Amino acid sequence: MEPRTITVHSGEQTAELEIYPDLGMPTFLQQLDSLHFLPSSSCWFVVDGQRVLLESEEDIDTHLKENTAVWLVSRGAGRASTALIDLYLPNSFAEQFLNIYRRFRFQRSRSPPQSYIRLDRELIQTASDFLMTCKPASLASARDWVPRDIARQMEGHTVKEFLVILLEWFHSSTTFVKTTPCVRCGSVTVSQSNTVQPTEEEKRVGVRNVELHRCQTCHADTRFPRHRDPTAIIANGRRGRCGELSILFTTVCRALGLEARLVTDLNDHIWTEVFDDALGHFVHTDPCENTVDTPLMYEKGWGKTQQLVVAVGMNHCTDVTPRYTEHYERAVSDPRWPRRYVCHVFTSRVGAYVQSRVTINDADQERLATFVRRDLTALRHGALERDDSGEYRPRQSGA
């Protein structure tokens, strides 16, 4: 049999190798080991984005054609190759892919695009925020906080009708923080561009970062911790911005038995969606703006040019951009984000990440999957009942 030339990649190393399939696996493995790359006994073989098993002469002949590129991928979570960035592995690799990617532990021949890194960071942050809404302690705190007369109004109302009632109470019981008064003199402060690390005590209650606000009178700095734990948000006066309020409202909905998820435009806003079985899709709900089912508000009222909008739920992470824009093709072609199929790969991995960290039985798993399928069907076929009255108010929170 004629020799074949293949290209072998491992981390930052690349080499051409002339192989003879008819000489069998022992010779092939010896050739790999001679390259001083990964030990052949501790790696996976990846070709065209798929893991392949090379165990015999027939396997080599089938998978390693002339000019084939082969990536040697370590079985340990601490190393990966360019294949994990540019050539995507099947779903069975989801958790390992995510663990490697989110920590940016690459052995690579080139850096990943900044849009990949940004998308990964934003999705992981939203997924982490959603997981906060699933904690038993968070759900218990939310149930204790919601008045019984509000909870009882679930009976006799559709989900959408109840959301209007619930959101009205929620909006009147929370405070959107536009500015933080000076802790020393009470005067107006101005947000500084930098943030500082939370204290150990703040970390224990889920604070991710702390904003600094400088007083215009006495020049003292006031700290504004950004809470992510619903229990801590309630304990600290139910104050915050869209992050805190959306996390808290999503937790309240889940505590009352509604199927709620977090939605982010991956830019500067986050809100909630709740599934309405009667409508057959998730309903837009913005706790900062006190609005229900007005998804085009951001585009028509705020004047935003929507880009990628992503929802994170119990067993999924999915692109819901069509609900929030009348210009979907323009939104998904924005050069600040990866191409559509790359975004799909990332969202599917983040969905697997969330699902691996929550407890859900088979019946609920199937029920949720049905909800998501119905919602995606409505999105793809334009079967959404959206308010097109033209009355979209400008931004109230943060305006």
Strands 260-264 and 270-276, sheet pairing: antiparallel
CB 226 within 8 A of CB 211: yes
20-52 CB burial, b ≥16 within 10 A, e <16? ebeeeeeebeebbeeeebbebeebbbbbeeeeb
Instruction: Spell out the alpha helix ranges (H) of the chain.
Output: 24-34, 57-63, 83-86, 94-103, 114-133, 136-145, 148-151, 159-173, 200-204, 230-235, 242-255, 328-332, 340-355, 362-380
Q: Which residues are known catalytic residues?
A: 242, 269, 286
- Long-range contacts made by residues 94-103, C-beta under 8 angstroms, separation at least 24? 94/348, 94/349, 94/352, 94/353, 95/352, 95/353, 95/356, 97/349, 98/349, 98/350, 98/352, 98/353, 101/349
188-213 CB burial, b ≥16 within 10 A, e <16? ebeeeeeeeebeeebeebbbbeebbb
Tally of residues, the chain? 399
128, 129, 133, 138 alpha-carbon torsion, rounded to 10°:
100
CB 277 within 8 A of CB 296: no
From 303, 305, 296, select the one nearest 323 (Cα to Cα): 296
